[in-house]
């Protein structure tokens, strides 16, 4: 398959070079060849996912449950590389690397594993080590320091269970996001953003946005994004770590959690994208 794709790419490049000195003629044939190459590459990638199969179970104790955020810092010689990673652990030994697509209550393991097996894994705890196993990859172990059920260190990086809202919760205030993170963040780690935006939540269950478009959080590889047009007014519901936004005729289910200090909400995370509360 790969050799055939490489041959088609070389042929396409040769045709492309020839067309730079001509007009019309082979343009349609060249486009058809490009489409064929892209289809073959996509088919090869999909087949690789199928061939990988599910991650194999790992020996050891289980019991971790819920969404955790891991903060990793690495000194690169001249700069400090910082990365955030979310892990959604299940007490039976399964985990998903990222925030749950469409919120924890709607998390569908079979669906996510079929679409993105590379993000679905198995874990096992043995003494001071946690072993993680992914589909198609050899298991590896990290040092684990458990402080309590909600706070630990995985491979020396602080890993904490995220906070939860109460049932049918209401929040008040404007939360803005305007930072663009660089490429040193992992694809399944920290969020990215293509446009700044603000959500203004009201205690009566209504919410407005100004210019929020094209925001991807920590679920982007699973095809879950927040892409609501600016200037909309609608409603929201929050239950635990589940957020439903009804804006501009669209309904979006997301993962949400607060970042608070002594009960005062300073920030909120929506699908892994962090929003700062305006003063």
Parse the chain into domains and list their residue ranges.
Answer: 2-52, 66-161, 173-277
Low-confidence ranges of the chain (pLDDT < 70): 1-27, 29-31, 33-34, 36-52, 178-196, 211-231
What is the pairing mode between strands 233-239 and 66-75?
unpaired
CA 55 from centre of chain: 19
Helix/strand number for the chain, H first, E second: 3, 18
Q: pTM for the complete prediction?
A: 0.72
CB 196 within 8 A of CB 213: no
Instruction: Write out pLDDT tens, residues 163-191.
Output: 999 999 999 999 998 644 433 333 334 44
Give the H or E element holding residue 8: helix 2-19
Give per-residue pLDDT as tens, 117-139. Answer: 999 999 999 999 999 999 888 89
pLDDT of residue 206: 96
For residue 146, which of 260, 258, 61, 85 has the smallest C-alpha distance?
Answer: 61
């Amino acid at each position: 398959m790969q050799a055939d794709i490489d041959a088609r790419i070389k042929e396409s490049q040769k045709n492309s070079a020839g067309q730079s000195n001509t007009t019309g003629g082979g343009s349609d044939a060249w486009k058809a060849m490009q489409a064929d190459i892209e289809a073959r590459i996509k088919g090869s990638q999909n087949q690789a996912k199928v061939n990988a199969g599910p991650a194999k179970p790992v020996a050891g104790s289980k019991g971790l449950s819920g969404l955790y955020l891991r903060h990793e810092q690495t000194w690169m010689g001249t700069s400090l590389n910082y990365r955030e990673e979310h892990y959604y652990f299940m007490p039976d030994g399964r985990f998903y690397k990222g925030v749950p697509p469409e919120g924890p209550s709607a998390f569908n393991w079979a669906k996510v594993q079929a679409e993105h097996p590379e993000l679905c894994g198995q874990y096992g705890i043995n003494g001071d080590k946690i072993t993680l196993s992914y589909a198609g990859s050899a298991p590896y172990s990290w040092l684990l320091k458990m402080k309590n059920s909600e706070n630990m260190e995985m491979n020396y990086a602080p890993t904490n269970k995220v906070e939860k809202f109460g049932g049918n919760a209401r929040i008040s205030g404007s939360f803005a996001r305007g930072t663009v993170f660089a490429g040193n963040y992992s694809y399944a780690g920290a969020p990215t953003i293509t446009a700044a935006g603000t959500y203004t939540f009201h205690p009566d269950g209504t919410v407005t946005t100004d210019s929020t478009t094209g925001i991807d959080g920590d679920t982007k590889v699973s095809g879950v994004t927040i892409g609501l047009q600016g200037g909309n007014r609608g409603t929201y519901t929050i239950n635990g770590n589940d957020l439903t936004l009804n804006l501009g005729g669209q309904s979006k289910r997301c993962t949400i959690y607060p970042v608070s200090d002594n009960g005062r909400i300073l920030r909120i995370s929506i699908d892994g994208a962090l929003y700062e509360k305006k003063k």
